[in-house]
Amino acid sequence: MVPVTEDLFGVTTPTPAPAAPTGGSLSGAEHSQTPLAVRLRPRTVDEIVGQQHLLGPGSPLRRLAEGTGAMSVFLWGPPGVGKTTIASVVSRATDRKFVEISAVTAGVKDVRAVLDTARRDLNADVHTVLFVDEVHRFSKAQQDVLLPAVENRLVTLVAATTENPSFSVISPLLSRSLLLTLRPLTDDDLGALIDRALSDERGLRTMAGESYALDDSARSDLLRLSGGDARRVLTYLEESAAGAQALGVTMINSEVVAQSVDRAAVRYDRDGDQHYDVISAFIKSVRGSDVNASLHYLARMIAAGEDPRFIARRLIILASEDIGLADPSALGLAVAAADAVAFIGMPEGRIPLAEATVHLALAPKSNSSYKALDAALADVRSGRIGLVPPHLRDSHYPGAADLGHGTSYLYAHDQPHGIADQQYLPDELIDVRYYTPTTHGAESVMSARLARIEELLGRDPA
């Protein structure tokens, strides 16, 4: 039953419900077993770590979090970078009702009910902020229901997603909102959270009220294992504190961390020599066609929390540089793997990375196109350029024909075999040969084709 009040004219109007979340990850968070990550959620904008590119003075997100903004926003970013945190801060903004629904459990009926209540509350001059977690799980019908409410600002929508909204959100809804991209948290950001957990009154305390301490190696392990995820680093820290308590100590070291998170700390420093050594070994193993070694180094990077986008970029480079035309599908597969990682995130992103790694490791290898371009670049940089032959020059302007531009050009499609026997290179480079194909894999076809072209033109294939 919604409480009502009676005004001077005897008309009853709804009394807005208290600004409390309903359903989803922000609901029912206050209890005796509340996780550390929930207890430490920032209460104000200034307590948020990271995302400073979105939280500058006067920014839409800051105005929304401070209760002065009305534009709907989509928060897109990987897990654990602050999407729910920002919603939590917004929920504390004054003079607005905050309602939370989860796209995992809410149906069209639930969305309509929330919007109907928001409409009644707006008549009582109470504006609603609607937080939708995992909005990419909403069907098109559910998103269509939200559209008029967002367009008319019946509610201010704050929607969180780990998937690219360009693919998972209908265009009309996205065009009426701001899309804000949250960046992965840095080690400094996560370190600030760790320090807060160890010192804040809401953080970690022994049963006797003592503070826990963390040695440098344990801190490094927590940062490495977290993979840039704030929720994960605080969960691991909380479990490590429980492990230390079970041992009757207050110092958390690497051994306690490893036992508590149930996996050994992988010796891998993303900013040090190990980072370069492991990625180097990975690339050289794929280039050398050792699929097992390739998978081993891929697993080490994934387990250590290496940025999967970095791995994907390296695979794209390798597909172009080391496989090339020996397997033209390799580049497409590597790009598809990078897109898949960006689209689905981790940990599922490890699967397309593994698929691309296996394909590239077992693919035939050729660096002929890479070497050919480098040879051409070397000539250009050394000044071997020359003039473009007159028949190849632009002839689409008045007076071009008088200069002889394009007048003797042979259109390849009108020639036998579709090949025009004419000079293409500048005079200075008339005999140069940059591209020397291998006979590896699919490039053997290119090699035979080039030889046939040279034969038809009566040229020396060497």
Res 398: pLDDT? 74
CB-hemisphere CA count at 13 Å for 201?
0
Question: Which of the four CATH numbers 3.40.50.720, 1.10.8.60, 2.60.120.560, 3.90.1150.10 does domain 187-260 have?
Answer: 1.10.8.60
CATH topology classification for 273-362: Zinc Finger, Delta Prime; domain 3 (1.20.272)
Write out pLDDT tens, residues 235-264: 889 989 988 888 889 899 888 888 887 644
Range(s) within the chain of domains with CATH label 1.20.272.10: 273-362
Range(s) within the chain of domains with CATH label 1.10.8.60: 187-260
Using the 8-state DSSP alphabet, how is residue 319 labeled?
Answer: I
Range(s) within the chain of domains with CATH label 1.10.3710.10: 380-456
CATH topology classification for 4-181: Rossmann fold (3.40.50)
Q: How far lies 359's CA from each of 67, 117, 128, 185, 344, in Å?
A: 51, 54, 51, 32, 20
Side chain identity at residue 48, one-letter code: I
CATH superfamily of 380-456: DNA polymerase III clamp loader subunits, C-terminal domain (1.10.3710.10)
Mean pLDDT of the chain: 81
Write out pLDDT tens, residues 204-215: 887 667 888 999
Interatomic CA distance for residues 381 and 450, integer angstroms? 27
Name residue, tokens 């009426």: 176
* Token output for 362: 């077992």
The stretches of 129-272 forming alpha helices (DSSP H) are 140-151, 165-168, 171-175, 187-199, 216-226, 230-247, 254-260
DSSP string, 118-160: HHHHHHTT-EEEEEEETGGGS-HHHHHHHHHHHHTTSEEEEEE
Range(s) within the chain of domains with CATH label 3.40.50.300: 4-181
Q: By the 8 A CB rule, do 180 and 74 touch?
A: yes
Give the model's confidence band at 273: pLDDT under 50 very low, under 70 low, under 90 confident, else very high.
low
Write out pLDDT tens, residues 358-412: 999 999 999 988 888 888 888 888 888 888 888 878 877 777 677 778 778 888 8
Reduced 3-state DSSP string for 27-92: CCCCCCCCCHHHHCCCCCHHHCCCCHHHCCCCCHHHHHHCCCCCCCEEEECCCCCCHHHHHHHHHC
**3 state DSSP class of 364:** coil
Task: Output the pTM of the full model.
Answer: 0.51
